[in-house]
């Protein structure tokens, strides 16, 4: 029991088991003494409780029943029940109001988070569009430069005095190797 005293029940007494001592007959005397001490204390408590209950019963039997006292007790119990119900209803309304306020707060937080995400997404898309516009502009300048180079080469080739004649010789079946600065090298493969 480790220092605590427990009141015995009939079932505890019925199921009590003692340790059998080896090398001699009988039970461990310390266990039996401790158990008997608990039984004695429990019986003393029960006898004391019974005596108090008998005294109360005798006092109640002597006093005449008072009908108005019973009605007062009933009315007090009814008032107490009404107060408890009113308090519970008030608390329930407060809980519901708090839940509604918290739900509204959560809704506002979610809306703000959604707006923030939408704003970030729009900004990212705008940045990508700007990058694409710069890339398209750069590519367009590059192509216009190449086109100007090609026009210059074409003009040089078609201008009289540069060796281009009305009847140009037929191109050989295999193309000659490309060298830098020719029309073929500018056009690419």
pLDDT value at 164 more than 80: no
Band of residue 28 on the pLDDT scale cut at 50, 70, 90: confident
- In the DSSP assignment, the letter for residue 180 is T
172-183: b (≥16 Cβ within 10 Å) or e: eeeeeeeeeeee
Give percent of the chain with pLDDT exceeding 70: 78
20 — phi, psi (to 5°)? -80, 130
Give the residue extent of every domain in the chain: 1-63
123, pLDDT greater than 70: yes
**29-63 pLDDT per residue, tens:** 788 888 888 888 888 888 888 889 988 888 877 76
Distance CA 157, CA 184 (A): 13
67-98 pLDDT, tens digit each: 677 788 888 888 888 888 888 889 888 989 88
Element (H, E) at 101: helix 67-158
């Amino acid at each position: 029991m480790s220092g605590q005293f427990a009141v015995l029940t009939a079932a505890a007494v019925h199921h009590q088991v003692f340790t059998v001592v080896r090398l001699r007959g009988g039970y461990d005397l310390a266990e039996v003494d401790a158990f008997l001490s608990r039984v004695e204390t429990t019986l003393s408590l029960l006898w004391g409780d019974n005596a108090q209950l008998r005294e109360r019963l005798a006092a109640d039997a002597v006093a005449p029943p008072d009908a108005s006292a019973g009605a007062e007790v009933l009315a007090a119990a009814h008032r107490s029940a009404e107060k408890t119900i009113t308090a519970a209803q008030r608390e329930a309304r407060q809980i519901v109001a708090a839940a509604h306020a918290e739900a509204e707060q959560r809704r506002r937080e979610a809306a703000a988070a959604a707006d923030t995400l939408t704003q970030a997404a729009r900004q990212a898309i705008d940045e990508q569009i700007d990058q694409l516009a710069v890339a398209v502009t750069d590519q367009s300048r590059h192509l216009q430069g190449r086109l100007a180079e090609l026009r210059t080469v074409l003009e040089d080739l078609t201008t009289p005095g540069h060796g281009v004649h009305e009847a140009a010789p037929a191109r050989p079946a295999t193309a000659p190797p490309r060298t830098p600065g020719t029309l073929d090298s500018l056009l690419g493969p």
